[in-house]
Structure formats: C-alpha cells, structure tokens
Structure 1
C-alpha cells in the first residue's frame, strides 16, 4: 500500500512552492517538506521526465517528418512549423512540450499502480511495441480492435473486467482514412489517452496528443524507449514509498 506522504529535499522547494503555499511548520528538522500524494500529482516534474530527451533527439529520430501537404488535417495546424519539398514539418518545440506532459502522466499512472495499454496498428512496428509493453510489465494490442471491448466489456468477457487506466497510441489511425476505434471507446469510458498524432490525424479525442511522425521505425522505437523509461521511473518510486 502506497504511503500518503512523499518527502522532498529543500533544494526542490522552488518548484514545490508553485503547487501550494506550504507553511514553515511543515518542514521537519531533517530538512524535508512533506506533501500529499495529490499535491505530488501537480508537481511540475517529480519523475524528471524533462531530462529524458532533447529537441535534438527528436530531430535525430525523425519525429519532425509529417505527411504530404495535401493530407494535412486542419486540426493539426497549431503544431506545424512549415513545409519542405511538399511535406509537412512539425514544430519540435511544441512536440517536446506535449511529449513531456505525456511522459509525466504515464509515470504518475505507473506510480499509482494503474494499468497501461499500448496500441499500434501495422505489422511493421508491432514487435517493438509488444516488446516494450512486456519489458514494462504492461499490455499491448497491435491487431484489429473489435469495437465495444471498452464500452460493453461485461458482455464481451462474460464478467466484470477492470479497464486500463491509460491507453498509449503509438499511431491513431486504423488505416489511411479511419481513426482507431479504441480512441472513440476510451473517450466514451473516460479513459485517459496518449496519442502520437501525425499531420493527417485528428487530435481532438485524445487526452494528451503528441504531434509527430507515427510511421518510421526509428521514431516508434524512440517513443517506446521514452515511455518505457517514464513508466519504470514511476514504478521504481512506487516501490520506494511502499
């Protein structure tokens, strides 16, 4: 059972003060401040996911590559830097900001013992995603998704079933035209979602959209590595506070 109290050293007080007005009486003689788990959730970067990558790492992993201009979804315009040779280019500063938010929530879900389910459609990168989920001791689904598994789970499985606390979509389309059915089902059931949204995708139903390339194996491998590190950091903290 997780403890309700987490201790922070005084050298982190500047970020802790942003959360709430902590009184001096909360500090003990060992040089620590105690905050509740709910306040820890609002901590700007308790698991230090900010240090997992740089914008150059995103560039090297080809995250900035989008699709052709003609396939651009207008809802992706806020995340676009421009175009080159007829192909859309993502603004990697915005991608980095959204990706860090997604990694942070993934680490918090893991810290609180939540179930995380990875999704990917397409055989080219499915092995990478399945291996990542296995290494994290979580779950993955990389094949056809039958609608109603979330929304009608009791009849689908013949029993009351615990649904995932977080779904991570490494791509959000079933094919070139249609969105992954699980995104709609997760939204109906109020399940938090993280999604890598390419320039031809709709980010609106995703809780934490991450604009970027969702096709290249090097990009998918890069995302998987980051989410694995974030989840493992959350689980490690959970063990430390048991």
Structure 2
C-alpha cells in the first residue's frame, strides 16, 4: 500500500497551542528531547513542534493502516474538559472509547469485561423492546440503575468483541491505569505527552499540550481523519478488487 503524506503545518500547531508545556519546575527530565532549550514562555517549557509534527504524522500512518485492515482502535480520554471531544472523535472514526473513569481491569480482566458488555447490550435490548416497562416497578428500577451505571462507564466499549489492537491515550496521567494495562498486555499505544509526562511509557509519543481543549481537538482531528481515510481505503479495496 502506498505511503500517504499527512499535511501537518507548524502554524496550525502553534494556533492550537500544542507547543505550550507545563511550568518548568513540573517537567519530567525524560521529556528533554522533545522540549526546546529556548525560548521559554512565561516560565513554561515550549514543545519542539518539529518533533510533534513528525510523530503525529507517524501516528496518522499507523492508525490509517490499522483502520484499513479492520483493526480495533480504542480512544481513552477521561478528563472532564475533553470527554465530549473524545466521544465525537470516536463516533466519527467508528472507534471504541472510554471517556469516564477507567475502571481497573477493563482490559487485563477481559473475560469479566466481556460479561459486563453482554449484560449492557441485553439491558439495552430490554429497554428498547419495552420489556423493562412490563416488569414490577421495583425490579424495573433495579435494572434501570444497573443500565445507567453500565452505560456511564462502558457505553463506548459496548460493541467490542475483543481486546483493542491499538489504544490512543489522550492524557497520560488521567489514563495511567489504562496505559499500565496496555503495557501488561503488550497492546500498542499512541499517547499525547505533555512536558510533565514520561514518553518512554508509550509506543508512539506525540509531544503536545494535553491540557488545552484546542490542542487535544487538533490532535484528535488529525488522527480521526487518518482513521476515516483508512476505513474508506478498506471499503474501496473491497468494492474494487
């Protein structure tokens, strides 16, 4: 398959605030290769956007080829300020997602998660068919509470039939439990890494501001575009063998 070029311009990265890091005193020394020695901005480190563009382009290639081969992708972003962006990005790219608190064992205890997802699908079916309304009020109330709880944490995973092939983690600190489970299982990860993160923990780091909604939205939009292109490529190859 021909290698694609993803147009990532430095001006766009600057406009989205991707370059703005944390206060210097909060930095992780492992991030040194991704930070400009100078200048600094109001006591904050500045991310080297040339490296950001390079790694983001590599991430776009990776998700493009994964999507073109029908691989399962999971986006994890549980920070309140960006949870809605994660949902919209995942729906557009037809990916699975987790945008609320990551419950320990979601991946490492997959058999239990599978059972939970099956329960969620069954309850949704019962709700849609009206079966819950025909139950005694007390029983219906219990099941509705269960459904509400499951939808809150597992809605974005409800159609997953197996472990993801790639996990995109929007915030390393908030998503650390998910990242640790991916490391345990050997699942490849793509992660936004701010100046206070450890780039060695993810397989493909994207140096970027993970606090700004503009920055996160910009990065996700690029990845989503690549995923959608990959899915379209897969469909085209089926239609035109």
The C-alpha deviation readout for 1:5-39, integer Å capped at 9, x for no partner, is: xxxxxxxxxxxxxxxxxxxxxxxxxxxxxxxxxxx
Tell me which of 208, 212, 217 is aligned to 1:216. Answer: 212
**1:99 maps to which residue?**
56
CA contact (8 A) 2:75 2:170 kept: yes
SS at structure 2 position matched to 1:194:
strand
1:76-97 Cα offsets, whole Å, 9 max, x none, are 0110003232101011111111
Higher helix share: 2
2:16 pairs with one of 48, 58, 61: 61
User: Structure 1 unaligned runs (5+)?
Assistant: 1-39
1:186 to 159, 179, 182: 182
CA RMSD after TM alignment: 1.6
**Aligned with residue 232 of structure 1, among 228, 231, 241:** 228
Contact 1:69 / 1:87 at 8 angstroms: preserved in 2?
yes
Pick 1 or 2: higher relative contact order, CA cutoff 8 A, min separation 6.
2
Residue of structure 2 equivalent to 1:27: none
Unaligned runs of 5+ in 2: 119-159
Query: Do 2:165 and 2:188's aligned partners in 1 also have CA atoms closer than 8 Å?
Result: yes
- Deviation string 1:173-205 (CA, Å, 9 cap, x unpaired) is 12xxxx610101001111111000000111112
How many residues align structurally?
193
Secondary structure of the corresponding residue to residue 101 of structure 1: helix
Question: 3-state DSSP class of the match of 1:195?
Answer: strand
Residue of structure 2 equivalent to 1:131: 88
Once the two structures are superposed, the pairs formed by residues 34-113 of structure 1 within 5 Å of their partners are 40=1, 46-49=3-6, 51=7, 53-82=8-37, 83-113=40-70
Match of 1:169 in 2: 169
Query: How many Å separate the matches in 2 of 1:117 and 1:136?
Result: 10
What are the Cα deviations for residues 139-159 of structure 1, in whole angstroms up to 9, with x where unaligned? 111111122221121134339
Following superposition, the deviation at residue 137 of structure 1 comes to 1.4
CA distances 1:27-65 after superposition (whole Å, capped 9, x unpaired): xxxxxxxxxxxxx4xx6xx2332x2x2111111111000
Q: What TM-score does the superposition give when structure 1 sets the normalisation length?
A: 0.76
State the shift of 1:110 in Å.
Answer: 0.4
Tell me, yes or no, if the aligned pair for 1:151 and 1:185 is still in contact at 8 Å.
yes
Distance 1:204 1:69 in 2: 20
Question: In the alignment, is the contact (CA less than 8 A) between 2:79 and 2:171 conserved in 1?
Answer: no
Larger strand percent: 1
